[in-house]
């Protein structure tokens, strides 16, 4: 069996464009991968096309060789757009191998320890604050709206959520709090916003539902410490904050009782290694759309050796959910996995077998490959147009 072609599809995902990779073979088996990049997707698409000659004609059953060939080719482009393109191809090759062997990917990875994976509702409130009309949901404009949303969280069976700084009419505005405006300082207004958002959710959800806050790269060391300390009374699932400096993050972790999560912007074991070895965080967050299945399996295993939880970053297209499920299934150090509780209304229409959510968990699929196929006519119907 040989790879004959690689194609990309960019699909409207409402809050972000989804980038899917299709790998075709001379046997008729096709594989799908997700390498969604929110902002620089044209570069990822161009890079997939650039890498195609290195993959066409190769045996998809030897995916490890292909991964290392691509990694060596991109040795001076480690991470970023190059690795995101590699990740989409890599995951599609795992899908092909599973279909060829009539086995789910988790079996090819060595088996599973979880039959279902606990998930949290990501961007809870923040997507509705910005995209409610296209999502087909009630808008979120005030903290009262967060209280109403909390009832929906409980009714749908979620046991945890993640939220953000949200532009609400009764809290300080957030745009002036971005790192481009502040240099990474946590102003009194920023602290008031995160305490208002998290405090409202904690009061409405009660003590047993996990709450995480994602502030991305918006705060430097001192600012992240201020935010973490301001959240201590809310018994957070975690504060998600990012830096390229593991020593700085270790300082944040040692300065607060709030659990710290990081890692969505890192690539390969090489990037994760100093953070994990320094115990700079409580939870590490590999991204399957940006690392692929091959590297992510190694990252999760490396974290396990250092007694560190993993909680994969998964706020991309629905194919990435399947990629993540197969790696999560074989990770005994799994804490929880991300999904978007609010998503494009046509998300499930794209798949032959949408993922199965019930009572806060998603079932690990037993079907061959990733466990679903993609309807190309639906992709074209919802092509991203900017």
**CATH code at position 160:** 3.20.20.120
Same domain, 205 and 353: yes
Domain assignment of residue 333, yes or no: yes
Q: Which of 49, 80, 103 is the last residue of a domain?
A: 103
Q: What is the pLDDT of residue 177?
A: 76
User: What's the structural domain count of the chain?
Assistant: 2
Same domain, 141 and 226: yes
Mean pLDDT by runs of 10 across the 386 residues of the chain is 98 98 98 96 98 98 98 96 98 98 98 98 98 98 98 98 97 85 92 98 98 97 97 98 98 98 98 98 98 98 98 98 98 98 98 97 98 98 95
Q: What is the pLDDT of residue 179?
A: 84
Domain assignment of residue 386, yes or no: no
CA pair distance 173, 181, nearest whole angstrom: 13
Same domain, 252 and 367: yes
CATH number at residue 37: 3.30.390.10
β-bridge partners, 212:
162, 238
Q: What is the pLDDT of residue 178?
A: 81
Domain that holds residue 33: 3-103
Q: Which of 103, 127, 152 is the last residue of a domain?
A: 103
352, with CB counted inside 10 A (0-12, 13-18, 19+), is exposed
Same domain, 323 and 357: yes
How far from each other are the two terminal CA atoms of the chain, in whole angstroms? 37
For residue 241, give both structure tokens: 């904050």
Domain assignment of residue 384, yes or no: no
* Cα–Cα distance list, 246 to 185, 254, 266, 317, 382 (Å): 19, 12, 12, 29, 40
**DSSP annotation of 306:** T
Domain assignment of residue 14, yes or no: yes
Q: What is the pLDDT of residue 255?
A: 98
**DSSP annotation of 359:** T
CA pair distance 49, 341, nearest whole angstrom: 32
Q: What is the pLDDT of residue 265?
A: 97
Same domain, 29 and 117: no
Same domain, 78 and 162: no
Q: Which of 61, 82, 103 is the last residue of a domain?
A: 103
Q: Identify the three-state secondary structure at position 334.
A: strand
Domain assignment of residue 137, yes or no: yes
Same domain, 125 and 92: no
Same domain, 67 and 210: no
Domain assignment of residue 63, yes or no: yes
Instruction: Say which residue the tokens 């990822």 belong to.
Output: 44
Same domain, 175 and 212: yes
Q: Which of 36, 46, 86 is nearest to 66 (CA)?
A: 86
For residue 168, give both structure tokens: 């609400």
Following DSSP, what letter does each residue of 39-83 receive, concatenated? S-HHHHHHHHHHHHHHHTTS-TT-HHHHHHHHHHHTGGG-SHHHH
CA pair distance 66, 72, nearest whole angstrom: 10
Same domain, 175 and 215: yes
> What's this model's pTM, rounded to 2 decimal places?
0.97
Domain assignment of residue 385, yes or no: no
Instruction: Say which residue the tokens 């482009």 belong to.
Output: 77
Same domain, 320 and 306: yes
**DSSP annotation of 20:** E
Residues 270/298, Cβ–Cβ less than 8 Å: no
239, with CB counted inside 10 A (0-12, 13-18, 19+), is buried
Q: What is the pLDDT of residue 386?
A: 85
Same domain, 24 and 141: no
Q: What is the pLDDT of residue 153?
A: 98
Residues 20/85, Cβ–Cβ less than 8 Å: no
Domain assignment of residue 33, yes or no: yes
User: How does strand 337-340 pair with strand 116-122?
Assistant: parallel
CA pair distance 177, 219, nearest whole angstrom: 9
Residues 120/106, Cβ–Cβ less than 8 Å: no
Q: Identify the three-state secondary structure at position 189.
A: helix
State how far Cα 22 lies from the chain centre: 20
Residues of 64-73 as b/e, b for ≥16 C-beta within 10 angstroms?
Answer: eebbebbbee
Instruction: Say which residue the tokens 């991204």 belong to.
Output: 287
Residues 116/334, Cβ–Cβ less than 8 Å: no
* Cα–Cα distance list, 88 to 83, 197, 240 (Å): 9, 35, 25
Count of CB atoms situated within 10 Å of the CB of 92: 32
Q: Which of 92, 113, 100 is nearest to 294 (CA)?
A: 92
Q: Identify the three-state secondary structure at position 360.
A: coil
């Amino acid at each position: 069996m040989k790879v004959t072609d690689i194609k990309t599809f960019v699909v409207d995902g409402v809050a972000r464009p989804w980038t899917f990779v299709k790998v075709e073979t001379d046997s008729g088996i096709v594989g799908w991968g997700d390498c969604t990049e929110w902002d620089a997707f044209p570069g990822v698409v161009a890079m997939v096309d650039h890498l195609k000659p290195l993959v066409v004609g190769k045996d998809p059953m030897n995916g490890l060789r292909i991964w290392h060939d691509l990694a060596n080719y991109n040795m001076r482009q480690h991470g970023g757009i190059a690795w995101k393109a590699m990740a989409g191809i890599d995951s599609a090759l795992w899908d092909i191998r599973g279909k060829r062997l009539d086995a789910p990917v988790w079996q090819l990875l060595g088996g599973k320890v979880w039959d279902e994976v606990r998930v949290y509702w990501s961007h809870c409130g923040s997507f509705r604050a910005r995209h409610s009309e296209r999502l087909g949901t009630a808008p979120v404009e005030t903290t009262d709206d967060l209280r109403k949303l909390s009832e929906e969280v409980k009714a749908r069976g979620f046991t945890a959520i993640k939220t953000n700084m949200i532009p609400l009419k009764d809290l300080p505005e957030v745009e002036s709090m971005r790192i481009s405006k502040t240099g990474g300082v946590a102003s009194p207004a920023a602290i008031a916003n995160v305490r208002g958002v998290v405090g409202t959710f904690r009061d409405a959800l009660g003590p047993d539902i996990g709450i995480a806050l994602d502030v991305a790269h918006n705060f430097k060391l001192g600012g992240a410490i201020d935010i973490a300390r301001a959240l201590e009374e809310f018994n957070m699932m975690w504060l998600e904050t990012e830096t390229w400096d593991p020593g700085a993050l270790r300082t944040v972790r040692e300065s607060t009782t709030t659990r710290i999560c990081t890692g969505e912007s890192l690539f390969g074991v090489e990037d994760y290694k100093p953070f994990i070895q320094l115990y700079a965080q409580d939870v590490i967050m590999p991204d399957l759309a940006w690392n692929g299945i091959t590297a992510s399996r190694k990252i999760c295993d490396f974290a396990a050796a250092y007694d560190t939880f993993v909680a994969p970053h998964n706020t991309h297209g629905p194919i990435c959910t399947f990629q993540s499920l197969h790696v999560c299934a074989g990770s005994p150090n799994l804490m929880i996995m991300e999904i978007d509780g609010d998503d494009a209304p046509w998300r499930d229409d794209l798949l032959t077998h949408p993922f199965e959510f019930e009572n806060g968990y998603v079932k690990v699929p037993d079907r061959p490959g990733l466990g679903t196929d993609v309807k190309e006519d639906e992709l074209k119907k919802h092509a991203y147009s900017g």
